Structure 1
Amino acid sequence: MIINIFLIFAIAYLIRQISNQALKKQVMNIFLIASFFQIIFLILYRIELYQLDRVVYYSDAEVYWEETLNYLNGNITDAYNASYIWTCWLLQKTSPFISVIWNNMYNILVMDLSILISALVIIHNKNYINSNVISQTRVFLILNLFNPLILFGYMRNLKDASFLLYISLTIYLLQKLNQKRHILKEIFYCIFLGIMAVVSYGIRPWAFVISIYGALAFLFSNNKFNKLRSIMILLFIGCFCIIAAPQIIRIYDSTILWTNVIENRSQGMGILELVKSMATLLLGPGYLRSLLGHRYFLFYMIIGNIMCFIGSIIWWIQIPYMISMVKKPRISFRKASIYLKYYFIMTISYILIYSISYRGSTEIRMRSTLYILISTIFFGIFDYKLNKTQLLLFGCGIVVIFIGGSIIGF
């Protein structure tokens, strides 16, 4: 509970940091309404679990909770995704009683915090290019905070919200660092990247690449390439090696395993099949499969099917909306901030990894992360100005997406 309270204060603090008063007020109101929306769905989710005589969701969520209880009872083992298990352990230790609901609340709050950080990146980039920041930020927050599919993907007892926070926190700290450079801040940031490269192994085996992307963003966040910057990067590598020494072989083995998986599954995959896998990843599960979750999903809940059904429709409408933004006016990617470029590289990596390794057929929680990453890029770079051309493109896009998505879905 204490950690959740801290997250609430962190969200409030970041909102207060928005300099534009009109935008700050709108962001605050959106988060207040979103909190009510999220609480309602969380209550409905917990009620259905109670009716199913379950404490947590199925599959991984159940495994993580069992491992958490083992840790609380002193039976500490080398659990898979141990970093998330330790997070759950700390959540329970700092709460008045043992309950998985603290984990549900934590994941929702971490999702909210990560979305807010993404919004701050959009605000920074929009200010950087003197664009319409208020309307774009408002639409971004509404589409991501109020999409039930994203909420359902994160609020269960799963690790993906922590993974998203790692992505967001890496770039937020760099943004704060670049506001006023100082040698101690640079050292702290490099140490942070080194530690997180190790810790993130217990969230996703390949998550250490986030630190690598963070180091590259740190390296190129200033046009003046100097010796001090090189020393800082070397320091990052040194800290990583020292801290990761006991784990470095394990991370290496995991990386080789993932590389082999991707290599094996990519064999025989042509360009057309890769494009189809990407389309499946971007358009799935779709509203039809979500509505018929009992037929297509190995594990499902009624409230989960409803949330995914609504969220899929929202996402399928959002896709042509974002595509129509590209038409006009265009903003050169070269002019985008280094923070937005970080999101772009992370998104491309995410799409390629899961398009190849899973052939695009991933779980809801992985798509939740992808939706937020893609939204950050589009709303950070492009503006939407209502005109006949964009309305026509938007309307045609909806028809194509719904027809194409329905065909792919079945």
Structure 2
Amino acid sequence: MPEETMKESGPPVSSPSNPEPGRGWRLGRRRMAVGLAVLALLLAGGAWLLGHEAQTSRLQARMLTRYAADLAYQTEPGASDRVRFPAHGPFDQRLGYTGIPGFVDRLETRGFAITEQVRQSPALQAHLERGLYAPYAEKGQAGLAVFDCRREPVYAFHYPYRAFERFDQVPPLVTQALLFIENRELLDADRPQMNPAVDWVRFTRAVIGQLGSRIDPELDTPGGSTLATQIEKYRHSPDGITHSAREKLRQMASASVRAYRQGADTLPVRRQILLDYLNTVPLSAAPRHGEVHGLGDGLWVWFGTDFQRARSLLMPGEDLAGDPAERAQVLRQVVALMVAHRRPSWYLAQGREDLDQTTDAYLRLLAAEGIVDPGWRDAALQQ
């Protein structure tokens, strides 16, 4: 029978190959703590960078300015084989851009020939092939002018009929009211490189609201559009409507590229955005007039208010002797049209009672924010 080997009882002895029990566990905890601390620092740094970028748009300004610089075109002799025309969009259709290929075909069959036409750069063509909208200086008004041999005007027509010609012609009260209702940070001079196409706070709320609406269809979801994306929508989106999340992203991307087309400093572009919006925003259609676009035509068609008179009443120092009741009424009409653009066919043609109530609410909010004098507010509420 083999002899049994007896060992002395007691705690195990540690060695390099057999570390002290619990030591590996403690080292693991330390490594995990260090890893979590590093991860927390990375997340905090990433959150700070995202917040800084959302506030300043510096990285976007640098990248998009470079990208937009290559989106060029030039006119050269003869017909072009490097030009793409838009296929849809209310303004593209109204101004005839979608019909240019057909116009050219019909003219050529009648003996006409193209003597000059635009060539789009490869970068611009690639931009359009991605489904984005072309960044160019768009017309606020279109029309026809006929001159005689001495360059004297014989006939002139433009549409919309009434419009602000420059940003400084817009009464500050109109600017402040529109920004308060639609896009409060748009003209922030402390953010010279701001991307006007994206308001990250509103966009995040809109995304969360859309997710919530999947759970509760009755949930009232806020919109995330800025004035820049709204312009892209009613000018170039099919039927002037955002049909899908993809179309919303296309509007945002197109507006972002357009904003940096002239350089990283976007404040002049942002002023032009506000001016274009006031001059071209759709405000439904009226009998014996047709489609209504812009604040000037909206005041005349829907309220019978002369545009220049309204501008004079609202511009500081221009008509201090004006009737206070008339000034209050014009203020109410301007605010009403800024509200009505959200559902113009309903508010202006059918839901005037809803429009009155919403206008009252915004007049009170404008006074609470110090944009409108309380006395002016009270007079407007009585109109």
Calculate the TM-score normalised by the size of structure 1: 0.22
TM-score (normalised: structure 2): 0.23
Choose between structure 1 and 2 for higher RCO, CA contacts under 8 A separated by at least 6 residues.
1
> Which of the pair is proportionally richer in strand?
2
